Chain A
Amino acid sequence: MKNAEIPETTESIGKIPVGELLPQKGKFVMIDKLNYLDETRVSSSLTVKKNNIFLDGDLFSEPGIVENIAQTAAARMGYIGKYIDNSGVRIGFIGEIKNLAVNRCPRVGEKLTTTIEIVNELFSTLLVHTETRVDDDLIASGSMKIAMTDIESAE
């Protein structure tokens, strides 16, 4: 991926339906929109709704938080594939998670903002450091490795 060609984006990126950037579909989509993207960072937001599949009662469970983080990174790769290097939106997987601390589970109605910093990008593997917050409250932080495949996402 040619990082040098990634322009800094702000408002316009939030208007792209995230379904176009992700291989995950339907109820498994765990971000509402991207907020920001540049060469080294990407940020997404998600408001927890009552019908979210990751709810435990009215709490958004830890696996849901992890999926939100993974999809924030995936949406960045999808954006680059779709709009920058024309490689398309491809299926990716979590390869590794390290030292991920979860402080609490967000409640229905709360809005998560996940901010990812790219630590390393090598071939089809992205190593990121991530922080998820509700307002100023740190919900989760840690490191994750995402591996991209050659399999194109279904439309």
Chain B
Amino acid sequence: MKLKDDFFSVIETSPDKKDYLVSLNPRHEIYSDHFPGNPVTPGVCIIQMIKELASLYTGRKLFMRHASKIRYFKVINPTEHERINVSLDIVPGENECRVAATVSSNDDTFARLSLDFGYTVVIR
């Protein structure tokens, strides 16, 4: 599953590639099934989004081998929140990287995630 440039798009990236302004696509087909008449960004798609953004930072394909803690505070309705902020605190190691991520808008914090990723294939 790849969500970037389809389910979400990166509008702005900070020079250190740790802070992203992201737009969500409320017309994506996932929203017709999650849930019919009540579109909500799936929590698992937020995990995938963090994985893809952390992959931009590291330049490597990542595999989430451990989620130490993920907390979802508030749901994202993509028609109400078309733009969200994602900030990453990344500690890259030789064989893995640790990522602490916050997903928020001006007024709300939607989720905080502490994830460990292993490197798999280098992205060509």
Contact = CB atoms under 8 A, between A and B. Distances in A.
A32 to B, nearest CB: 16
B43 A94 contact: yes
Contacts of B2: 56
Contacts of B36: 25, 154
Nearest to A103: B65
Interface in B76-123: none
Given A24-B35, A61-B1, A95 B44 contact: no
A55 B48 CA distance: 12
Given A55-B1, A96-B72, A70 B35 contact: no
Interface in A59-116: 61-64, 66-67, 70, 91, 93-103, 105
Given A98-B69, A102-B65, A154-B35, A93 B43 contact: yes
A27 interface: yes
A31 B36 CA distance: 18
B47 A91 contact: no
B34 A62 contact: no
A153 to B, nearest CB: 7
B12 interface: no
B65 A153 contact: no
B48 A154 contact: no
Interface residues on A, range: 35 or more
Contact of B35 (A91, A100, A101): A91
B68 interface: yes
Interface in B53-84: 63-72, 75
Nearest to B43: A94
A31 B42 CA distance: 16
B38 interface: yes
A119 interface: no
A103 to B, nearest CB: 8
Contact of B33 (A26, A61, A91, A93): A26
Contacts of B64: 62, 102
Given A27-B33, A53-B1, A154-B36, A93 B72 contact: yes
Given A66-B47, A93-B72, A96-B69, A28 B42 contact: yes
A95 B33 contact: no
B32 interface: yes
B38 A154 contact: yes
Contacts of A26: 32-33
Contacts of B69: 96-99
A105 B63 contact: yes
A102 B30 contact: no
B10 interface: no
